[in-house]
Structure 1
């Protein structure tokens, strides 16, 4: 029988896993001890009493159907700590010299993966990617995309490469970004942090969520839509948004709004606190969606039953679907404040199936 003393080293929760007092698993032929479960699809985390391995398992599964999660209890505890360190480390404003962006997020994730390989070589040397950890690490590293801005600045600070990476996620072939020249920005845009962001980082093109014209001048809503928004003389027509809406940028405050035309049927006016919050939310969403698409369209089938390395329990779609709304909401909680706020409408749309339809 394996040594179970390592159970005490497990936290109550961490790395999208939840642990509890050990109990006997209903499956596993008496070999499995339940340590807890996943935070996303109800799978069990079990300890194999004969091998000492930790696996993901279903309550009704057979003892040969669990996916290897860690080669031992100490390895499991170490892997959990590593993912948690990535998720919480971004709060240190001085880390990476204060820089945040796509390259920083990738560097943090890559370094953490190398450390995890050293912590549990047996897990990472098998043919298929280990279940759970790759997705958990990707989600945790999203916190390194941006950091909270200064009180007199934008909601978030990040390197221009975040917008470039967002453009790549939207259209890998062109990855087009429109960066505005200072002389292109209208006098009505007096919010200096927004002016700098448009010049230094710009806006991605070819997006399904945010539609930006590649060369049209940035003008006021009143000038662009005189019949509908004549009163919006200090709001700029930034781009298009789902459901045939237009994003209005408040030139004084930098706030993003969705002026309505249909009264009670319109969504709430608030879209995002400012342009930095919108771009960080979109980048977060598109990174998650790219991982989703990898399994949806990339020829990866973890349930095909061919070979010893296929997953029989872990479902990345369930993981991503469970987490995506909370990730986007965390960027700008007010954007989900009521059922009438647009981001929440998109996330809870019963016709499209949500953000990861």
Structure 2
């Protein structure tokens, strides 16, 4: 009998593990308690195939080009992110250690190993603690919201990781402890998704860098009162690195902006252009807009002529730029970008926990193609967006 998946747990037989897994504690776990078949962070679907465990050398075209330490490592699953598998999880069958790698079938010489956990058991405990934080259950069930909660959750998660994975944490767990608790900075709001702590943006960016609008700045089509109140009382950073506000003139509708620009006809603009208020831009040819009736925040690409969701509303836009600014400060201190791809995934998952719309590729407008600005911006290592 081979791999079984019963009650959400994958187990293997001793025959599945022979001759490659000799580490006794690993054998006991895989043939006894097993591995979760459903996890936000870890995917073990590869174990359902036959053979359940495959050596890295079997998965590439020219195994001779592999580093010797890689050849007999066993692929057991994958690190997962919002919409895909991120990196392969590989097991050292002799020591029980877990590493990550990218399996380059045609270019095995590019592959290397990154330590993740000293054992499968430690990996599962670290992932379970992270899942509890994300879902606000277990040891994080009554954590609340705000800066003190973020600091306490970060410290507690780091202590859990240190107990299970050692003081010299793999970058993935270090960034999990530093970044993921940031999702607890703001409690759910009334009228808007979030109720940001008082002066959060002022303290992060400096009060001089935060723009608060006046009634005279708003067009009549901005009828969504929670958005008006937020822009008046809380405001937005003028420059959020991946976006910039236009503050020289009262906020125009998208139709008014392009009437002045004389580049697009009314027929070429989104049908709701008269109620889309342009706040600024994301990149040179992409406008940052808010729907004046609903408060939804969107982006309109000139190059693609497509209107796409950006954030649920103005409060989660503010959270996003705050999150990016916090990450840069943390990177300066902890070198998080040394594991850039894992950091980009952690950022996307942290944002998705607060604002699923920002990362969900489900089409929401007639021309929406599912492309999402923030996850793509996070992943753009060449653009250097997450570097301090």
Shorter-chain TM band: 0.5 to 0.7
> Is residue 46 of structure 1 aligned with residue 85 of structure 2?
no
2-structure distance, mates of 1:228, 1:211:
18
Moved more, 217-226 or 73-82: 217-226
Distance 1:12 1:138, change over 3 A: farther
2:52 is the alignment partner of 1:5: no
2:295 maps to: 254
Say if 1:319 and 1:192 are closer, same or farther in 2 by CA, change over 3 A: same
- Give, in angstroms, the shift of residue 259 of structure 1: 6.7
Relative contact order, higher structure (CA 8 A, sep 6+): 1
User: Given that residues 55 and 68 in structure 1 are in contact (C-alpha distance below 8 angstroms), is that contact kept between their aligned partners in structure 2?
Assistant: yes
The answer to whether structure 1 residue 82 and structure 2 residue 157 are counterparts is: no
Q: Secondary structure at the match of 1:42?
A: strand
Once the two structures are TM-superposed, the CA of residue 23 in structure 1 deviates from its matched residue by 2.8
Q: Deviations for 1:221-278, whole angstroms, at most 9, x for unmatched residues?
A: 4887773599977665433332345444444433345578x7x853327554421232
The aligned length equals 319
Aligned mates of 2:257, 2:172 — CA distance in 1: 48
C-alpha change, 1:219 and 1:89, in structure 2 (3 Å) is same
Aligned equivalent of 1:112 = 157
Q: Tell me the distance in 2 between the aligned counterparts of 1:29 and 1:252.
A: 56
Shift of 1:342: 7.1
Q: Distance in 1 between matches of 2:307 and 2:140?
A: 33
Listed one character per residue, the Cα deviations across residues 23-53 of structure 1 (whole Å, up to 9, x for unaligned) are 364575998655433335534331453x444
Q: Is 1:197 aligned to 2:230, yes or no?
A: yes
TM-score normalized with structure 2 length: 0.60
Which residue in 2 is equivalent to 1:320? 343
1:113 partner SS: helix
Matches within 5 A, 1:171-320: 176-180=209-213, 186=218, 188=220, 189-213=222-246, 216=248, 218-221=250-253, 227=260, 236-256=277-297, 265-268=304-307, 271-285=310-324, 316-320=339-343
Asked if the contact 1:272–1:335 (Cα under 8 Å) also holds between the matched residues in 2, the reply is no
Contact 2:348–2:375, Cα closer than 8 Å, also in 1: no
Measure how far apart 1:145 and its partner are: 4.3
TM-score normalised according to structure 1 size: 0.64
Deviation of 1:192 (Å): 2.5
Contact 2:279 2:288 in 1 (8 A): yes
Give the equivalent residue in structure 2 for 1:18: 43
Q: Which whole-Å CA distance do the structure 2 matches of 1:111 and 1:345 have between them?
A: 27
Q: 1:163 aligned to 2:186?
A: no
Q: Structure 1 residues 90, 134: CA separation in 2 closer, same or farther (over 3 Å shift)?
A: same
Query: How far apart, CA to CA, are the structure 2 residues paired with 1:201 and 1:289?
Result: 22
Change (3 A) 1:281 1:205: same
Distance in 1 (CA, whole Å) between partners of 2:289 and 2:337 is: 42
CA RMSD of aligned residues (A): 5.0
How far has the Cα of 1:81 moved from its partner?
Answer: 1.0
- Please say if residues 247 and 256 of structure 1, whose CA atoms lie closer than 8 Å, have aligned partners that are also in contact: yes
CA distance, structure 2, for counterparts of residue 73 and residue 349 of structure 1: 28
Q: Which runs of 5+ in 1 are unaligned?
A: 169-173, 303-315
